[in-house]
Amino acid sequence: MYEAWPYAKGIGGGLQIAPNGMHVLAELGLADEMIRRGSIAESFDFYSQSGRRLGSINRNMKARFGQPAVNMCRAALNEVLVDKAWCANAALHFEKRLAHIEDRADQPIVAHFTDGSSAEGDFLIGADGVHSAVRAHVIPDGPKPFDTGLIGFGGFVPRSLLENTPVGQRVETTFGQSGFFGYGFCSSNPADGVMWWSTQPAHGVAAADFRAMSQDQLRQHLRDFHAGWHDPVPQIVDAAENIVVTDTLDVATLPTWSRKRTLLIGDAAHATSPHAGQGASLALEDAMRLGRLMRDGQELGLTFQNFEHERRPRAEKIVAVARRNGNSKREFSATGAWIRDHMLKLLLPVSARGMDWMYAYDPRAA
Ligand SMILES: Cc1cc2nc3c(=O)[nH]c(=O)nc-3n(C[C@H](O)[C@H](O)[C@H](O)COP(=O)(O)OP(=O)(O)OC[C@H]3O[C@@H](n4cnc5c(N)ncnc54)[C@H](O)[C@@H]3O)c2cc1C
């Protein structure tokens, strides 16, 4: 495995791994550790900007789907996966940024890195995310990531901030007239026990411009944006430190996921905007399904075709859900927001049942 960045701990925000992704972690023997280091999410609850409860979904996930949904720090997940790979004697190389790929007949496939070094093998799997360099090899002049017009802010606040509120193990989220806010416990560590995120229309301001701001300026921006939102949103914003700014990107459907001996998986193949909370679980599923198919020992091209045939319909359905969900976080008129909130209240129970297929998927049984 060749990774562009140095090995580092403690980087990234919080995320939720859904039951379908937890099945993969269970297969790797890592589910219990991630439950211990993270926090089981007992439901996903929705509120209006003024704090009116709109509904609650994703209850009893473990009973219904065999695994719970688990909130965790991205850094903890990364650390556990890397440790597991090291223990299995996998060769991990850091600070190796792929520049280009050479795939000549009758020779090994070669990955060339920006430091001038290279590595060769029988095939190459591109798991290099939304900005994938491998994608440019598989589909030269293919689709590029585009900005969805929403911008994300996120980070952690201490557990003590929520310990006296009735949030319990719920993930609480709020639809504003413009934008969206969410928070929930994600770790037993007192310092970073609560993850939070804010999604807002970017209004033409690039993520880079926000990243150039000081933490005080970012906090003030969030205070202004979420002014008047129900408690504890203002308290979380006031306590926020090390605020991370993220673009909200999407990539159009790719015409193919492979070319000769190279295959794309995860966000490189089907970048998923964050609004379905499924991108990381899908990437875990991909890795496991590909591993299983490769073990069957069929010819490489056929394995890649079978992988795409099996995975594409599910991935594209989830990408479409994420796009649809993102639309409810844009800017509404006061009347539009009122109608949206009432529709949500009426439709949430029905639409939640309609999402069970996402969580019910067990990649071990597929
Ligand atoms: C704000 C936000 C919140 C999210 N929340 C959730 C959530 O709650 N639940 C969920 O399931 N998903 C969530 N997602 C989506 C999820 O993060 C992604 O779908 C997931 O990380 C994709 O995994 P991946 O392994 O395909 O790519 P990545 O996680 O992006 O990993 C790609 C890796 O490749 C490396 N790399 C990139 N280019 C090169 C190169 N040229 N050479 C070598 N290495 C390279 C990168 O450094 C990185 O380590 C969220 C996304 C965002 C932005």
Write out the two tokens for 164. 């006296």
Stretch 254-269: mean pLDDT, rounded? 98
- Best substitution site from 173, 267, 290 to test ligand 1's pocket, by max atoms within 8 Å of Cβ? 267
Q: What's the pLDDT band for 165 if we cut at 50, 70, 90? A: confident
Distance CA 193, CA 116 (A): 42
246 lines ligand 1 (CB under 6 A): yes
Whole-number Å distance, alpha carbon 319 to ligand 1 midpoint, is 14
- 199 Cβ closer than 6 Å to some ligand 1 atom: no
Residue 326 Cβ < 6 Å to ligand 1: no
pLDDT of residue 297: 87
Q: According to the model, what pLDDT value does residue 246 have?
A: 94
- For the Cβ of 283 lying below 6 angstroms from any atom of ligand 1, the answer is yes
Is the C-beta atom of 128 inside 6 A of ligand 1?
yes
Give 143 Cα–ligand 1 centroid separation in angstroms. 18
Residues 152 and 72 in one domain: yes
Does 6 map to a domain? Answer: no
Cα 233 to averaged position of ligand 1 atoms, centre (Å): 27
Handedness of CA 23, 3, 210, 161 (dihedral sign): positive
Measured CA to CA, the distance from residue 100 to residue 312 in angstroms comes to 25
> Would residue 7 count as lying in a domain?
no
Q: Is the same domain home to 226 and 113? A: no
Distance 72 CA to ligand 1 centre (A): 15
What's the pLDDT at 326? Answer: 79
CA–centroid distance, 239 to ligand 1, in Å, is 27
Q: Report which of 290, 253, 251 is spatially closest to residue 273, judged by C-alpha positions.
A: 251
Asked if residue 310 and residue 339 are part of one domain, the reply reads: no
- pLDDT tens track for 284-300: 999 999 999 999 989 99
Question: Is residue 213 located within the same domain as residue 159?
Answer: yes
Assess whether the C-beta atom of 267 lies below 6 angstroms from ligand 1.
Answer: yes
- Tell me: do 156 and 225 sit in the same domain: yes
Please give the number of the atom of ligand 1 that sits closest to the Cα of 133.
Answer: 41
Same domain, 267 and 227: no
Range of the domain at 101: 96-145+251-326
Rounded-to-5 percentages of helix, strand, coil across the chain: 40, 25, 35
One domain for residues 206 and 163: yes
Judge whether residue 32 has pLDDT over 90.
Answer: yes
pLDDT at 182: 97
For the packed helices 300-327 and 279-295, what is the interaxial angle rounded to 10 degrees?
170
Q: Are residues 67 and 163 in the same domain?
A: yes
Report whether residue 94 contacts ligand 1, using a CB cutoff of 6 Å: no
Q: Of all atoms in ligand 1, which is nearest to the CA of residue 128?
A: 34
Reported as a single tens digit per residue, the pLDDT across 196-237 is 999 999 999 999 999 999 999 999 999 999 999 999 999 999
pLDDT tens digits, one per residue of 300-310: 999 999 999 99
Number of folded domains that form the chain = 2
Q: What is the CATH number of the domain that holds 287?
A: 3.50.50.60
**Measured from the CB, is residue 20 less than 6 Å from ligand 1?**
no
pLDDT-based confidence at residue 275 (cuts at 50, 70, 90): confident
51 and 150 in a single domain? The answer is yes
320-340: pLDDT as tens digits: 998 888 777 778 899 999 998
- pLDDT the model gives residue 325: 83
93 pLDDT higher than 80: yes
150 and 128, same structural domain? no
Q: For the chain, what is the mean pLDDT? A: 94
Q: Above 90 in pLDDT, residue 253?
A: yes
Q: What is the pLDDT of residue 189?
A: 84
> Is residue 70 one of the residues assigned to a domain?
yes
